[in-house]
Amino acid sequence: MYRTHTCGELRISDVNKQVTLAGWVQRSRKMGGMTFIDLRDRYGITQLVFNEEVNADLCEQANHLGREYVIQVKGTVNERYSKNANMPTGDIEIIVSELSVLNTAQTPPFTIEDNTDGGDDIRMKYRYLDLRRNAVRKNLELRHKMTIEVRKYLDSQGFIEVETPLLIGSTPEGARDFVVPSRMNPGQFYALPQSPQTLKQLLMVSGFDRYFQIAKCFRDEDLRADRQPEFTQIDCEMSFVEQDDVINLFEGMAKYLFKELRGVELTEPFQRMPWSEAMKYYGSDKPDLRFGMKFVELMDILKGHGFSVFDNAAYIGGICAEGAAHYTRKQLDALTEFVKKPQIGAKGMVYARVEADGNVKSSVDKFYSQDVLQKMKEAFGAKPGDLILILSGDDAMKTRKQLCELRLEMGNQLGLRDKNKFALLWVVDFPMFEWSDEENRLMAMHHPFTHPKDEDIPLLDTNPEAVRADAYDMVCNGVELGGGSIRIHDAQLQAKMFEILGFTPEKAQEQFGFLMNAFKFGAPPHGGLAYGLDRWVSILAGLDSIRDCIAFPKNNSGRDVMLDAPGCLDQKQLDELHLIVDIKE
């Protein structure tokens, strides 16, 4: 038997027990004739004691143990003289009588501690060592608990877990596919699924009624903090439902998960915000509502007073940061440089302080009377001590997105984005289509199987860009946790959708004929939702990146630096797959 107890298990009630422990050497300390070893496993840390006066050979053996050696010890549980209140096992120690080295270890490239000295790159290269750290392991334990609670909740609601294939056909809509060459079908390729979308719809045609799957999904797109090339969805679909049915069930699931995993009780119904309102007042389809700073449009107040930047603008808008009038000129200049970054793209920023006497002091005072500035103050509901920040531009949507970045930056600087505060909402009534300059055609904002709002269906023939989708996203703290829609279940309406998206009937049949043909055999009205498991865990754990809750993630270039993937294939493999690699510089 390698162990009778784990390293996080023993307490003061176990004093005088004979025990066997096994684990990794966390650290070693020599004090006079005593050697102390902290032994670590997944469950915790226990202090081991070796006494030179009692057993000099054993103590000498302990003095040669290096960090991360794998050892087994036998000994007696003893009450510690100097207790450690910061450790669950801090009241006890093990007086060691036997020591076995199960495996030696090289000195690790970084310390295996919560506050490690390893940077991101080195920790990703040695991820198997990084996973030994308590801070990282806790994230994966939370992920494990979440998947169990998800299954419990969905099972209680009548859902059946069904696995769908990972080798499917490529679809042209959405992100780029990852493709897999077929050796048995030369010149042909599978795609890895971006989501189980069409397959879960087929399960509804099959009469499964309520399906779910904790599904691996793959998208070849540019990476950021909340994106990985492979990620995990809690994917769900329901038959005979309308939008409210789906939203209510999965709002219930969100409340259940917050209560079970964070002990947070969410009692109020989540706000539902139309997409148009989210963009108008927050410049984002995933607004962070933990704080205010709602956009105020200022065209009627600030246009036409001789300040050409505003006079020539198609949009003027601003935010009011409460109590931030103390910002120095240096801080305001830094904010101006922030919005002028290439990834944001604003040309500049105007600011105005509300003084203690109520007057407004602006960076463009010479163009505006105090009467005009007071009207601006009233539009914001600003008070003495507040700071107003204004952006303008010749494209309203683009400028709102720039203002969104400024709002989030101010939220960060003022400490308003508390990771222990949760603001959840549904964003609804998305546009059905968006124009793609690259493709020079309308594209589905979500996917081509989304059902339009019933009242907007007549607009498909006359004004498709005005059509709203029967779609919904759940947002928490500025992160899209998941989204879904009611699906099209009528073959004629689906054909119409493909026509608007630029598919010929032949192309639509080639790509999606299996789904359209299935609809002819009696498809029920259906809809669903997919939660991002990685994003959910990162929100609940208070992480800045989903990478920290994935066991073996990719870096920002989509590389697995531990496995050194992707890599080249040797010529024999290429020949078997009938592939010629021609990389042009």
Predicted local confidence at residue 585, as pLDDT: 65
Model confidence at 486, in pLDDT bands (50, 70, 90)? very high
List the structure tokens of 130. 């990084």
Tell me what percent of the residues of the chain surpass a pLDDT of 90: 87
Q: Are 508 and 495 in contact (CB under 8 A)?
A: yes
Model confidence at 225, in pLDDT bands (50, 70, 90)? confident
530-576 residue pLDDT tens = 999 999 999 999 998 899 999 999 998 899 999 999 999 999 999 99
Predicted local confidence at residue 35, as pLDDT: 97
12-69 residue pLDDT tens = 999 999 999 999 999 999 998 999 999 999 999 999 999 999 999 999 999 999 999 9
**Which residues, including other chains, have CB under 8 Å from residue 506's CB and lie 6 or more apart?**
none
Predicted local confidence at residue 447, as pLDDT: 85
pLDDT tops 70 at residue 172: no
pLDDT tops 90 at residue 440: no
In the three-class reduction of DSSP (H, G, I as helix; E, B as strand; rest coil), residue 300 is classed as: helix
Predicted local confidence at residue 445, as pLDDT: 87
214 phi and psi, to 5 degrees?
Answer: -90, 95
517-521: Cβ within 8 A, 24+ apart: 518/201, 518/202, 518/205, 519/205, 519/489, 519/490, 519/491, 519/494, 520/491, 521/205
335-370 residue pLDDT tens = 999 999 999 999 999 999 999 999 999 999 999 999
d(CA 423, CA 291): 9
d(CA 222, CA 548): 18
Which position has the higher pLDDT, 416 or 583?
416
Q: At what angle do helices 329-339 and 396-413 cross, to 10 degrees?
A: 140
d(CA 315, CA 298): 8
Q: Which of 116-120, 164-168, 287-291 is the least confident region?
A: 116-120
508 DSSP 8-state letter: H
In the three-class reduction of DSSP (H, G, I as helix; E, B as strand; rest coil), residue 250 is classed as: helix
Which position has the higher pLDDT, 288 or 437?
288
d(CA 10, CA 2): 16
pLDDT tops 70 at residue 455: yes
List the structure tokens of 439. 């493709």
List, in sequence order, every residue forming a beta bridge with 442; answer none if it has no partner.
Answer: 435
93-110 residue pLDDT tens = 999 999 999 999 999 999
List, in sequence order, every residue forming a beta bridge with 318; answer none if it has no partner.
Answer: 296, 390
pLDDT tops 90 at residue 437: no
pLDDT tops 80 at residue 8: yes
Predicted local confidence at residue 565, as pLDDT: 94
The separation between CA 192 and the C-alpha centre of its own chain, rounded to angstroms, equals 21
The stretch 499-506 carries a mean pLDDT of 88
Helices (H), 105-242: 120-125, 127-130, 134-156, 197-205
Q: Are 470 and 243 in contact (CB under 8 A)?
A: yes
Predicted local confidence at residue 173, as pLDDT: 61
Predicted local confidence at residue 66, as pLDDT: 96
Predicted local confidence at residue 508, as pLDDT: 86
Q: Are 105 and 70 in contact (CB under 8 A)?
A: yes
